[in-house]
Every structure is written in C-alpha cells, then in structure tokens.
A and B are shown apart, each in its own frame.
Chain A
Amino acid sequence: MKKIVEIKNLVHEYARRDSEGNVAEIVRAVDSVNLEIEPGAFVAVLGANGSGKSTLAKHLNALLMPTEGTVLIDGKNTEDREKLLDIRKTAGMVFQNPDNQIVANVVEEDVAFGPENLGVPTEKLEKRVHDSLKAVDLFEERKKSPNRLSGGQKQRAAIAGILAMRSKCIILDEATAMLDPVGRKQVLQAVLELNREEHITVILITHFMEEVIEADQIFVMKQGEVVLSGTPRQVFSRKELLEECGLTLPDAARIAWGLKLKGLSVRTDVLSMQELEEELNGIGVSHGGV
C-alpha cells in the first residue's frame, strides 16, 4: 500500500542572524529524519520545545522546503510546485493558536474557506460544510462569530475546515497546547473519532505524553533527530531516554516507576490509571493498602 507520508533523510537548516543581518550560526532544526506513515494510522510526534517537531510538521504541508532529503505526501514530492495545492489539500494542518487560523467572520464561512479556494462549486460546498460541522459537533454554532467560540470549539472549527477539503490526513501542530483540559479533551476526542470512523490519518504533534496513549505509533524527537519510535507501550518503558528529551511520563507510568523503585515488582509500561490498578490487583495489592 502507498504510504501517506514518506520522509527520506530530511534535513532542515536555517540561519540565525545577528543584529547586523550577518549569519551568526546555522541551526539544524531537523536532522536526517526518516519516517513512513501508513494511511489511516494515528501517529504522534513527541518532543520538548525546540526539538524540531513543528519544523517537521511544516514540511508535511509544504510550508517549508527541505534543505536536504525529500518529503513525499501521498506519493507527491513537496518540492514540486505544480502539486502544491494537491499536497496541501491531502494533508490539512491545525495550528497552535486558535485565533490566528480562522479567516472568516462566520463559523460556516470559515469552514468553507479551504474548499472555496479549491474551487468546489457552491452546491457541493453546502453539503461539505454541513457534514464537516456535524462531524466535529459544531453544527449548532455554524452562524456564530468565531470570537464567540471557546478555544476547543475554535480548534474543532479548524478541523472541520480541513474535513471540508476532504483531506486524507490531518496534522495537529501542538493544536491543544493553548487549550484548557476540557477543550483539549474535545479536540482529541474529535480527531480520534475521525481516525477510527473515517480512517483519516492523524499526525498529532505535542509535548503532552497523556495525549499519545491512543496512538498506533510514536516518534520521539530530540534536537532535530528522531531518537525513539514505537508503540506507546514501548516508548513509555524508556523512562531515562524520555527524561533526557525533556518529556515527563503520564501519571500512571510515573507511579508505576515510583513503586518499582520502592521494590514492588510492577510492570512500568502501563498506559492508564485503570491499567495500573489492574496490574496492582494482579500482584496482590488492592485498594486496602500495600
């Protein structure tokens, strides 16, 4: 099967300039990254601030061009200017700041913005907008001003805008970072449903480890390189490496590690509190106490 994303030896460098405009140093934001993503997968890219994860994301949407290497989206090279719209249509992107990515003054018109740019005829536009808003549960708010929406609703509106382009892949570039816990949950729930039900590829870029539990595969980035990849269970068991990358384990895994250090022989690759509880029950520790 054709890969939806194929990155080969990607390097991205940018020049940091001093106040006179001379190049002070060359920064390698992304350093020889290789990765492949299957259609319909739920993939997470984890990394602390400055690990290059956002730079990587911008390559997937042809907002940045590789310094070296190639990025293929659904088999199309991002450096091919003729395929630019096609690539951006295939891989839609949700950005970090909810306010700065809404273009129109009415929710439904903002959702229509992408397909309008693609020249979708008006009769089809209405259905697309309708379906997309239903899919993210925002249909009731369609006539509102985006300023009246909560952060989580704004991000869901942005997701609807991508669905309306009939994208095969949604990239969330730290899209939950500015949201409150409720909004974060709503957005994650929405993309998870789209992944499970519509088989849309989701690439979730984040530094919150709690968000990646549901992912099929995780890539961990540090200083522009992918240092670790695998299933959540495989990744969560590499505590030292994760801490070196500036990431903190979710609560359940942290407690498990703590218990292990105290001499209890528990598994440390637990993903949720529920799993931890089962694990503890399994080894004879119950709510009553140790």
Chain B
Amino acid sequence: MIRDITIGQYYRTESVIHRLDPRVKIVGTLCYMISLFTFQSFAGYLAAIPFFAFVLLLSRVPFSYTVKGLKPVFVMLILTSVLNLFWTEGTVIVRLGFVVVTWEGLKRMIVISLRLILLIIGASVLTLTTTPNQLTDGLEHLFSPLKKVHVPVHEIAMMMSIALRFIPILIEETGRIMKAQTARGADFETGSVLRRIKNMFPIFIPLFVSAVHRAGDLADAMDARCYHGGAGRTKLHPLHYTGRDSAAFFVLLLYLLLLYFVKRYIPY
C-alpha cells in the first residue's frame, strides 16, 4: 500500500538501544563513523567489528535488515573495490596481460570496502532503532547552541517534523492525481525518457497547488492553536538523560580506547 511508505526504516521492537536517548545515538553514530576513518590497517577492525556486533546484538534488529541499506551503494562498492584491486602499485601477485593485482591493492580493497560496509550498516542501526520524530527531537536539542548565533533551530526541526507528517499524505495524493490523469488519457508508462518527464507535469502542477493550499490551512490551524515559535514551549515527552545513556557513553569510550590500543600495538 502506498500509505505504508515511511521515511527511514524504523524497526519496531523493544531493546536497550531503542530506548536510548536519541541524542546519545546520534552522537554515538557520529563518533563511530569518524572512528572508521582513523585507521588504514586491518587491526582497527578488531575493535570496530566487535563494537558494531555488540550494538547490533543489543538492538535486537536482525542483521539482514542492516544489510538492506547496502543495496543502493552496491555498485559503488564494486567499483571502488575493482579500482583499488587493480590500480594499486606494489608487490605483484598475479599478472594477466595489462591486469595487475598487488598485495597492497588486495589489502586496500579489503580495508576500504569493509570501511564502507561498516559505515552504512552502522548508520542504518541509528535509523532502524530511532523514530523520525525522535531523530528530529534529538537534532533540535543537539543543535540548540546554534540559537545563540540566530540559527532558527526550533523552526527547522518543526519544518522537518511537518514534512515527515505530510509525506505520506502527499504520496497518497500523487497516486490519486495519477489515477485521475490516467482516466483522462494521460500516459506515464511509454515513450522516451524526455517524453515521460514531460508527461509528469500534469501530476506535479496539481500536486504543487494542493500542497500550497494545505500549507495555508495548516498555518491557520497552528495559529489557532496558539503556536508562536519555540519560545516558552513545553514538551509532552521531553528528552532526559538516564543512567542508561551514561552507560552508553561509557561503552563508546571503551570502544575508542580499544581502537587506540589496537592501532598502537598491532601493526597490520
């Protein structure tokens, strides 16, 4: 069903990771992602892979779900692997005409593709365990220091959450308009790419008009319910740090320390 489409891919279950404060998860994911770029050796993975596995196990999200995130970057993954494998200079293992495979190339291919994989499946754990609402809430809090330099943080977060609310509605409306235009003889399936793009106009124009209407209505409704920006607003479910969140930060610190020592004492 078209109305089942959601942004992100939240996996609904009960776990420690799901219950963590979104701020902790965002900061944690960011640290983890940066940490993946701090090493060029196999050794770093002795820390990174166990850490990822530990978090995934705690989150109770099936591994296959995180792997789904790799689909869109699959081509890129293959491409970088091939480039690294064949175009790195060093000790030659195999030579087949102009194709040369070196030890260094092999190592680099493995290091770089592992990094890419861990990066993407790591990030997907964040979106799998955090609802879009919690994400926007977390981002609003994390960026709130920027309010001091007059960045409208609350307003941006409000816009994000309204966009999330209206995406399914607009998708449904697109379906309705497409059906209406098809009934009037419009054709979206055949013809050259250019022709098909041209045929999209009868969808986008009514969709755009309706979106503007909805925005006007919503603005009235928000006014009527006393919305006047972020100042003085309270929250039904405010974010609080708990013991769980401190524990999570501690685990993150352990991981970073482990990574440091592994890099230092294992040369490969």
Contacts and interface: CB of A to CB of B under 8 A. Distances in A.
A119 B220 contact: no
Contact of A100 (B3, B168, B217, B237): B217
Interface in A155-193: 161-162, 165
Interface stretch (B21-29, B33-41, B101-109, B158-166): B158-166
Contacts of A23: none
B228 interface: yes
A109 B164 contact: no
A117 B213 CA distance: 24
B236 A119 contact: no
A88 B169 contact: no
Interface stretch (A68-76, A120-128, A212-220, A274-282): A120-128
Interface size class of chain B, counting residues whose CB lies under 8 Å from the partner chain: 20 to 34
A201 B235 CA distance: 28
Interface size class of chain A, counting residues whose CB lies under 8 Å from the partner chain: 35 or more
B9 to A, nearest CB: 15
B133 A106 contact: yes
B172 to A, nearest CB: 8
A117 B226 contact: yes
Nearest to B229: A117
Interface of A: 58, 61, 63, 85, 88-89, 92-93, 95, 97, 99-106, 108-109, 112-122, 125-126, 129, 146-147, 161-162, 165
Given A85-B226, A95-B221, A101-B221, 19 more contacts: A63-B220, A88-B223, A88-B224, A93-B221, A93-B224, A95-B224, A99-B169, A100-B213, A101-B218, A102-B165, A116-B233, A116-B236, A117-B227, A117-B228, A119-B234, A125-B234, A147-B3, A161-B225, A165-B225
Interface of B: 3, 132-133, 161-162, 164-165, 168-169, 213-214, 217-218, 220-228, 232-238
